[in-house]
Chain A
Amino acid sequence: MARKISYRQAINEALVQEMERDENVIVLGEDNAGGEGAPGERDAWGGVLGVTKGLYERFPGRVLDTPISESAFVGAAIGAATAGKRPVVELMFIDFMGVCFDQIYNQAAKFRYMFGGNAITPVVIRTMYGAGLRAAAQHSQALYSVFTHIPGLKVVLPATPYDAKGLLIQAIRDNDPVIFCEHKALYDTVGDVPVESYAIPFGEASIVRSGGDVSIVALGRMVAVASEAATELAGAGVDAEVIDLRTTSPMDTDTVLESVEKTGRLVVVDEAPPRCNIATDVAALVASQGFEHLQAPVQMVTAPHTPVPFSAALEDLYIPDPSRVVAAVKLAMEKGS
């Protein structure tokens, strides 16, 4: 049975259901309950944006607040994962990867391969990314492509409440380290989510809208932007297919290539800056493996090559919006036709 809940609630529900199912699942991070050592309310925050609220009371001893010591507690989660726990550790903002990156990319990402397949590291690093909350240059970045670059890490970007729940459950059950990227502007979005537990396999893109004229590949918050553009394009007689990658590592290359084979045109929408991002990666994939199907150059809609600006007037220009996607699709439709 499905009912409408928010992206935030969907993540919380996935944690609850997995913690009930498997006592090895533990949750840790800065203020994940809140109020440790303080005289007032315990579980005061449930994480900085309330995503883990209520877990502390429900699972005594399994929800840990931490000092502000990301290298120490992300590293500890990774260490606990090698000892049979299934930690879900919160890196509050993806921008903070810099203060703990060694533990992620030189340690967690390497163990399985480097130790000849003799180790698993079933840790989930939940982290908040993306622009739109006027959170400025050090709290707004879309850094998932950095993690996607690292062999050994799986990278997940749910775009809907449904996917947030199913992908997080899969992430917790997965035996590899997973970077679970939650867009901070999506937490209050609402959608149909089944009550029961379910897992969405990694590496399976979702065709959000079928169409025959152009393939729009998007991820994370950009899926809704692409869908809105597709609706507008439909009114202009352009039948766009919208693909949500869901996971960038592993990436569902087949679905992308099959779509481009059908439509002959590709637009990729990525909230990250334009160099070495997921848009360039998808463009390279299609250029190398689906070139014969392309009837026009690939169009990429990305953020500019700048840090994320603070002022609302600038940030609104920074984030790709439906009008830019529409313009890119029209360009793709004009060329080669």
Chain B
Amino acid sequence: MSDTLEHRSAEPAELSADQLLDAYRRMRTIRAFEDRVHEEFATGDIPGFVHLYAGEEASAVGICMHLDDGDTIASTHRGHGHCIAKGVDPKPMMAEIFGRRTGTCHGKGGSMHIADLSKGMLGANGIVGAGAPLACGRALAAKLAGNGEVCVVFFGDGASNQGTTLEALNLASVWQLPVIFVAENNGYAETTASSWSVAADNIADRADGFGMPGVIVDGFDFFAVWEVAREAVTRARRGDGPTLMEVKLTRYYGHFEGDQQTYRGDEVERARRDFDCLKWFRTRVTTNGMLDAAALDTIDAEAAALIDDAVAEARSAPLPGREDLETDVYATY
């Protein structure tokens, strides 16, 4: 066992009321978005592969709360939450998932490839482990420019076993790059348990071998994620190099929509009941009087209305056409 750092959970009072409301809004919007995509997928109107982030909201938001517009994130196939946490507009995201011309990528990318470079969201990614090397490049550019920007790469427990990820961890440390590696360990690479596939007690333990701090974080506790991310981002901005955060959490839905999750037994029900970052957040901020429940209820209603609008607009938006097929390439034959 390495000296993987234990961490404290921040006190809600370390954030302003506005910050708390912002954090809750982002998390609630993600949850509403994902629950609704789940329902819409069941109608058969959403094509392709869709991987939902519900249950993991505290990770994306706890980290992205520390990022500015110039900072960037690289995401995964389970990327909707990262997008919303980084400020991408849910409406064109929904349109993209429905394959519409008004989508973030004009219908050419889909759920697995949503990107909004104007928000520093470098793209969801269909290739497990592809994000980490790209994040190193983005961070190298920031370091060379000396602009203090950082890049966060989110990846899963599955990707933690990819050579690309391991090579990127080493390179980031060798070059002292301003990268924050965020291993979102939701327990499963598709159906395969991370307790089996990761041959270390914790993914964070591997940080030792790459000469960087490794920290395990409770992914159901927004304030824990926020606290650890604050340290990691500060360290990266200061020029002190990368950090590996392992955020332990769960996913409520299957690997992708359609996965019946028979390999998980009854743990999903228990997770929904006992491990809900939104419920925990609400309890903590209302118990200590930082926020009143009515303000949070208002956000719940506003998020639901936003997603209603997003779906309605996506459904009525035009599809791309033949004139779009061969655009955005440098040459056609």
Interface residues of A (CB under 8 A from B): 30-31, 34-42, 44-45, 48, 65-72, 95-96, 98-99, 133-139, 274-275, 304-307, 309-314, 317-318
Q: How many interface residues does B have (CB within 8 Å)?
A: 57
B-side interface mostly: loop
B129 within 8 A of A: yes
Which residues of B are at the interface with A, using a C-beta cutoff of 8 A? Answer: 47-49, 96, 99-101, 103, 105, 107-113, 125-130, 158-159, 161-164, 188-198, 261-265, 267, 319-322, 324-326, 328-329, 331-333
Instruction: List the 4 closest A-B pairs by CB distance, nearest first.
Output: A37-B196, A37-B193, A310-B110, A138-B126
Known pairs A36-B193, A40-B267 / 18 extra A-B pairs, C-beta < 8 Å = A30-B192, A37-B197, A38-B191, A38-B263, A40-B265, A44-B191, A66-B192, A71-B163, A72-B161, A136-B112, A138-B126, A138-B127, A305-B329, A309-B320, A310-B109, A311-B99, A311-B101, A314-B320
| Smallest beta-carbon distance B278→chain A, Å | 25
Complex interface: chain B residues within 8 A of A38 (CB):
188, 191-193, 196, 263-265
User: Assuming the A-B contacts A139-B49, A312-B99, are A68 and B107 also in contact, with contact meaning beta carbons closer than 8 angstroms in the complex?
Assistant: no
A306-B189 CB under 8 A given contacts A68-B129, A136-B109, A138-B126: no
Q: Contacts of A305 on B, CB cut-off 8 Å?
A: 326, 329, 331-333
Report the bound CA distance from A134 to B101 in whole Å: 15
* Contact, CB under 8 Å: A99 / B164: yes
Provide a sorted-by-A list of 5 A–B residue pairs whose CB atoms are within 8 angstroms: A66-B197, A99-B164, A138-B113, A310-B99, A311-B319
A68 touches B262 (CB 8 A): no
- Closest A residue to B159 by beta carbon equals A68
Q: Is the CB of A67 within 8 A of B158?
A: yes
The interface residues of chain A, by DSSP majority, are classed as loop
A68 to B191, CA, bound (A): 11
Residues of B within 8 A of A275 (CB): 333
The answer for the CA separation of A142 and B322 in the assembled complex, in Å, is: 21
Alpha-carbon distance A98/B267, docked complex (angstroms): 35
B126 touches A306 (CB 8 A): no
Partner of B325, one of A138, A312, A318: A318
Which residues of A sit under 8 angstroms from B127, Cβ to Cβ?
A: 95-96, 98-99, 138
A contact residues around B47 at 8 Å (CB):
134, 310-312
Interfacial chain A residues near B265, Cβ < 8 Å: 38-40
Q: Is the CB of A34 within 8 A of B191?
A: yes
Which residue of chain B has the shortest Cβ distance to A41 in the bound complex? B262
- The answer to whether B49 and A69 have CB atoms under 8 Å apart is no
Are B126 and A137 neighbours in the complex by a CB distance under 8 Å?
yes
Kindly list chain A residues whose C-beta atoms are within 8 Å of the C-beta of B189: 30, 67-68
B329 in contact with A68 (CB, 8 Å)? no
Q: Are A311 and B100 in contact (CB under 8 A)?
A: yes
Contact B197 A309 (CB under 8 A): no
User: What residues on A are CB-neighbors of B48 within 8 Å?
Assistant: 133-136, 310
Q: Hey, which chain B residues are within 8 Å of A318, CB to CB?
A: 325
Given known A-B contacts A275-B333, A311-B110, A37 and B262 have beta carbons under 8 A apart: no
Known: A136-B126, A310-B109, A313-B320. A68 touches B264 (CB 8 A): no
Most interface-central of A42, A72, A306 (chain B CB within 10 A)? A306
Interchain CA distance A51-B165 in the complex, whole Å: 29
Shortest CB-to-CB span from A330 to chain B, Å, is 20
How far is B193's CA from A158's CA once the two chains are assembled, in angstroms? Answer: 33
CB neighbours of A71 from chain B (8 A): 163
Given contacts A309-B325, A310-B110, contact A40 B49 (CB under 8 A): no
